[in-house]
Amino acid sequence: MIKPRHVAVPLVVVTALSFARGAETSQLAKKYAEAVRIMDWAWSEDEATILHCLAQPFAPYDLVVIKPKGQTAPPAILQFKIMDGQRQVYAWSGQVTSAFILEGERLYYVQDTNDGFSALVAVNLKAGKELWKSRFRDTRPATPGRYWTRGMLRSNGETVSLFTKTSAGRFFALKDAETGDTIGFKAFDQPTRKRLAP
């Protein structure tokens, strides 16, 4: 029995869409390549705090932060909830050093793992679903000891950027806001065996 030829069409469409998105990401990488190359360290101690994240407008949503019983801070694990009235739209766990921003119906937050393999997560709040999760490059030092990291998120609608201070050095990562693909990365410190202070 001969199978209908149109069965393969969805695969072609998916492949075409993937290729188009890949091409767009490539164009973004080219667009921002020079800016990433010459950029200076733009860290802000005030901006890299949970208070700064909490101060941003969340309307029409409410943001609830819960510190579970028995936890100490730091390194307490906090629960963050985006609420629409009495309805929970989305929830995630983090720490007092967690970074997150809200842009329209899009939430971006750093998924804290404290092991150098953190990821940036994008969420469509209107649908209450994760759009993508993009891991960051491993920046853990080769020497043993406690690894700490702090982050500062920014977005211009087209890209999402993360400035990171860690015990291994200072880093910058630029992500495509639509796909989560990394389109730029820069290390501001030469590899060193000396651990930096927070």
Please list the pLDDT of the chain residue by residue as tens digits (198 residues).
Answer: 544 444 443 334 444 434 445 566 678 889 999 999 999 999 999 999 889 999 999 989 999 999 888 766 556 688 999 999 999 999 999 888 889 999 989 999 998 655 556 889 999 999 999 999 998 876 655 555 566 778 899 999 999 999 988 877 899 999 999 999 999 999 997 654 454 455
Q: Which CATH number fits domain 35-187: 1.20.58.1610, 1.10.10.10, 2.40.10.480, 3.40.190.10?
A: 2.40.10.480
Token couple for 148 = 């700490």
CB 63 within 8 A of CB 82: yes
Domains of the chain, by residue range, sit at 35-187
Q: Which residues pair with 86 in a beta bridge?
A: none
Look at residue 12 in the predicted model and tell me its pLDDT. Answer: 40
Look at residue 18 in the predicted model and tell me its pLDDT. Answer: 43
Token couple for 63 = 């943001």
pTM: 0.77
> Quick one: 36 exposed, middle or buried, by C-beta within 10 A (0-12, 13-18, 19+)?
middle
